[in-house]
Amino acid sequence: MSGARRTKNFLPAVLLSVLALIWGSSFILIKKGLTAFTPLEVGTLRISIAFLTLLPVAIKYFKTHYKNNWKKYLLLATVANLIPASLFPIAETHLASSLAGILNSLTPIFTLIVGASFFGTKIKKFQSMGLLIGLAGSILLSVTNSVGAIGSFNNYAALVIVATICYGFSSNMIKKFFPETNTVILTSFTMFSIGPITIVYLLTQNTFVKIFSKPEALTALGYIFVLATFGTAFALILFNRLIQITSAVFASTVTYLIPIMALFWGTLDGENIFPLHILSMVIILTGVLIVNKRTYSVKSQ
């Protein structure tokens, strides 16, 4: 096997591992950002910093790439970034960061459901079983209360589920509308589409006054900066590339590994993890595993 061929075969696994490390840490970073900022401030700061980080790239390729496709970029940015970036911080005001990471594992399931409903993806019989198993696990997790027993449904868990539905749409959109677009350019334009909106929002709040008047706000901003530069800008470049060289469903299987990292950080931060939480994660990941059985293939290029 040639060196180039080996590199191509290992590349998806490498990208998947790096993404799991970065995104698995995102939930604890959101939690740390919430110590000084409101949920919407956390989400808009995250996007604004990523936007400013990638702005030079967007400016450079604006005329050749953006002008004729701005509607698609705006739609993708709203679904893939703006909505989830707002929903996760809101959810984590009443949901442990580790549990948000577990629920995020539903992404491959909704990627398949959205693909079948709107993008022509065919669902096989065994995948239907996986969908039901995964959704059952999410329901169990959503009704497990703060003492590890069955209780009422946690509405904040539903916000994470909505975010994973958004990810299901965005993964399929990238595969359909931007299969050959350079991933750095693609990510920069998604941020470029919504970055000005989030900055305007922040200017209408007392966010910047808070940053310079409260010492704890600077620390929280540091966590959000790491979240934005690595968890949003850099990770999206890797994720978009992974979708292009494999498939939307395979790329979304990064969520197999994300819960492990999320649980690690949550436990380290003193969050209570109960047997029903672990059982829910196992059920969800079992469903995801069934959904993704024999769906992976690397494109030759």
pLDDT value at position 237? Answer: 81
Encoded tokens for 63: 């005329």
Choose among 4, 25, 13, 10: nearest CA to 250. Answer: 13
pLDDT value at position 138? Answer: 93
pLDDT value at position 108? Answer: 84
For the cut 60, the answer to whether the pLDDT of residue 297 exceeds it is no
pLDDT value at position 300? Answer: 34
pLDDT value at position 13? Answer: 80
Q: Give the span between the Cα atoms of 273 and 96, in whole angstroms.
A: 9
Range of the domain at 234: 17-291
Kindly report the average pLDDT of the chain as a whole number: 87
- DSSP tag of 299: P
Mean pLDDT of 1-24: 73
Q: What is the pLDDT of residues 160-212, one digit of tens each?
A: 999 999 999 998 998 888 888 888 889 899 999 999 999 999 999 989 889 88
Choose among 123, 103, 104: nearest CA to 113. Answer: 123
For the cut 80, the answer to whether the pLDDT of residue 135 exceeds it is yes
Question: Taking phi first (over 0 means left), then psi (-120 to 50 degrees means alpha), and beta for anything else, what does residue 148 get?
Answer: left
Residue 301 resides in a domain: no
Q: Give the span between the Cα atoms of 76 and 189, in whole angstroms.
A: 10
pLDDT value at position 8? Answer: 58
Residue 273 resides in a domain: yes
Residue 196 resides in a domain: yes
Residue 150 backbone phi and psi in degrees, to 5: -75, 130
3-state class (DSSP) for residue 181: coil
Mean pLDDT of 92-102: 94
pLDDT value at position 296? Answer: 44
Q: What is the pLDDT of residues 230-286, one digit of tens each?
A: 887 788 788 878 877 777 667 766 767 888 889 999 999 999 899 999 999 999 989
| Displacement of CA 219 from its chain's centroid (Å) | 23
Q: Give the span between the Cα atoms of 55 and 217, in whole angstroms.
A: 25
CB atoms inside a 10 Å sphere around CB 291:
26
Overall number of domains in the chain: 1
Residue 12 resides in a domain: no
Its sign, for the CA torsion 219, 222, 228, 230, is negative
For the cut 80, the answer to whether the pLDDT of residue 86 exceeds it is yes
pLDDT value at position 298? Answer: 40
Q: What pLDDT band is residue 301 in, cutting at 50, 70 and 90? A: very low
Residue 192 resides in a domain: yes
pLDDT value at position 254? Answer: 75
